[in-house]
Every structure is written in structure tokens, then in C-alpha cells.
Structure 1
Amino acid sequence: MMALSEMFSQLCTKAVVLLALLLIQLMLLTKKLRSDTRPITTTQYLKLIERKNPTTCFTKRLRQEDAECRVCLSEFQEGEKVRNLKCKHTFHRDCLDKWLQQYWATCPLCRNQILPDDIVAKYREPQNQGGYIFSFWDLAE
């Protein structure tokens, strides 16, 4: 009986040590994940957009077919700042930047991705902490 009691005591001690080690590992992993997911400020977000899709000046000589911004529906004027996306759609810089700040980072027309999802999630993180953000997709469910 004494041997069984001693074995049970050793087993409990080993279980407590193992549990403590697992908790320490979990705390270290949580700390690492938090440091990797720091939120992105609006300024940083706009700089990333600029880096991926630089601003250019609209000229009618270069672009005959796509003569209006599909966000504000206004015709482009000579010298206005526009963004030409990789999907070949063109928008006023300010119109597109507002769109990208309010919605997921996709082209307003074809929905091609402009920025990776992880960057958008880091930008949206501070906005989500105040409460739930209602989206169009909530209506579809």
C-alpha cells in the first residue's frame, strides 16, 4: 500500500511540473503572437497602398477608354491624381483610398485583392475592439 501511495505522489508531482511547463510555453507563445499582430495606423495603411499602387497624374493622351472614376462617377480631369491598379482599373486617388479604408482592400469593380488579408486585419483590429462592425456579408447569411 505504501508503494502505491508513493508512486501516486510522484505521479502527481510530475503532472504538476508538466502542467507548469505547458503554461509557461503557452504564455510565451501568446506573447509572441501579440507582438506580431500590432495594429497598423491609417497613415501606415495609406503608405502601404501607395507603395503597392503609386499615384500618377491623369492625362487624356494616355488613357482614352476609362475616362471616369467608378467610385465617384466623375470624369477624370487633366492632371488629377489617380491610382492605376494591377487589374487595370483606374480611380481618383482620394476616392480609392476612402474605399480601401472603409471596405476590405479590394478593387471596387472586380474585387481583386489590393493588399494581403493579414495587413487589412491589422488595420481593422483597433476598429473592431470598440464593437462589432456591421458588413454587407451579414445580410447574406
Structure 2
Amino acid sequence: MAALAQLVSHIYATTLIFLTLLVLELAVLLRCLPGTLSPLCGGRKLRRPTTAAQFLDLVEARNPTIQYSRAASKKRECTECAVCLSEFEEGEELRRLLCGHTFHKGCLDTWLQQRLATCPLCRSKVLPDDVAAGFHHQQMQSSSLRPEYDGSDEELVFLLSAIHGNSLHRFL
């Protein structure tokens, strides 16, 4: 009777592992399909993703580039870029956001492309969420840094061993 109970226990654990692997494989498959819903999209389909040039054109339209002039700047205005922490020099291209913070154009553009489109200091939105999410979704799709599932089950075995504790070692 004990042997039968142990056999049923092994069959149950094997079935559970198989179903877990099946669900994970389906999740990976759905994640890799273009046009599917993604957590990055906030659970809704995105508009057509924008390119880097279109993204920066939108930033420029909402926050035009200005030339730094010491004579024209107010005495109480910040004189350094909060991204690179260097002082503004005469004639450099700056970008002043609607929130009032000013940065080097290149520093801010790089920041906006690598992060969500928010001010580095106060986190106010520079562009609408759907535009920023579309750009970042497109970047992740084309990026070689995006984690891909390589077909190896080593990570899944590790995950399952953490979930099921010591009962998994009998099957490996």
C-alpha cells in the first residue's frame, strides 16, 4: 500500500511539473508573437511604434532646443545639467522642459530614450504614456539586450526546484 501511495505521489509530481513546463512554454510563445498584449503596454495594444528620430522630433516639438547664454540666464536659474553634472557653457544647446528644469540637449535626449519619457529630476511627463511606451516597446523588440528564451530547461528546473522544494530531486 505504501508503494502505491508513493507511485501516485510520483505521478502527481511529474504531472504537475509537466503542466508547469507547458504553461511556461505557452507564456514564452505568446510573449514572442508580434502584436500580442504585453505588460509593457499596460495591458492594451499599442499604436504603431515610433522610431528614434520620430521620438526625438516629438520631444523637440514639445520642448524646443535653446542656446545657453550666461547674460540671458536668470541668476537663480540652475547653471548645470542634472544628468551629466557639468556646467552649461556659452552657446551650448539646452532643452528646457515644461516643468522648468533645463538640461543639455544630448544628455536629456539620451535619458528620454533609455528611460520612460519623464524629467530626470521631478519625473513629470515629457511625452504622453502611449508615445513613450510605443517607442520603448519598439526598442525592446529590436534590441539584442532583450532576454530571449534559449530553449534550455536549466532555468525551469531551478525554478521548479525552488517551488516544489526537495521533492523534485527524485525525478532529476
Alignment of 1:1-141 (within 5 A): 37-63=47-73, 64=75, 65-129=77-141, 131=146
**1:61 shift after superposition:** 1.6
**1:124 shift after superposition:** 1.3
CA–CA distance in structure 2, aligned partners of residues 107 and 62 of structure 1? 23
More displaced stretch, 102-111 vs 60-69: 60-69
Gaps of at least 5 residues in structure 1 are: 1-29, 133-141
Letter in 2 for 1:46: L
**1:122 shift after superposition:** 1.1
Letter in 1 for 2:70: K
CA–CA distance in structure 1, aligned partners of residues 122 and 96 of structure 2? 13
CA–CA distance in structure 1, aligned partners of residues 120 and 134 of structure 2? 21
TM-score w.r.t. the length of structure 1 is 0.65
**1:126 shift after superposition:** 1.9
Gaps of at least 5 residues in structure 2 are: 1-35, 37-43, 148-172
- Superposed CA deviations along residues 63-106 of structure 1, whole A, max 9, x for unmatched, are 23311000000000011000011111100000000000000000
| Percent identity for Structure 1 against Structure 2 | 51
> How many residues matched?
100
- Superposed CA deviations along residues 108-141 of structure 1, whole A, max 9, x for unmatched, are 0000100000001111122233635xxxxxxxxx
Q: Residue 103 of structure 2: SS of its match in structure 1?
A: strand
Letter in 2 for 1:115: L
CA–CA distance in structure 1, aligned partners of residues 131 and 68 of structure 2? 28
CA–CA distance in structure 2, aligned partners of residues 104 and 80 of structure 1? 25
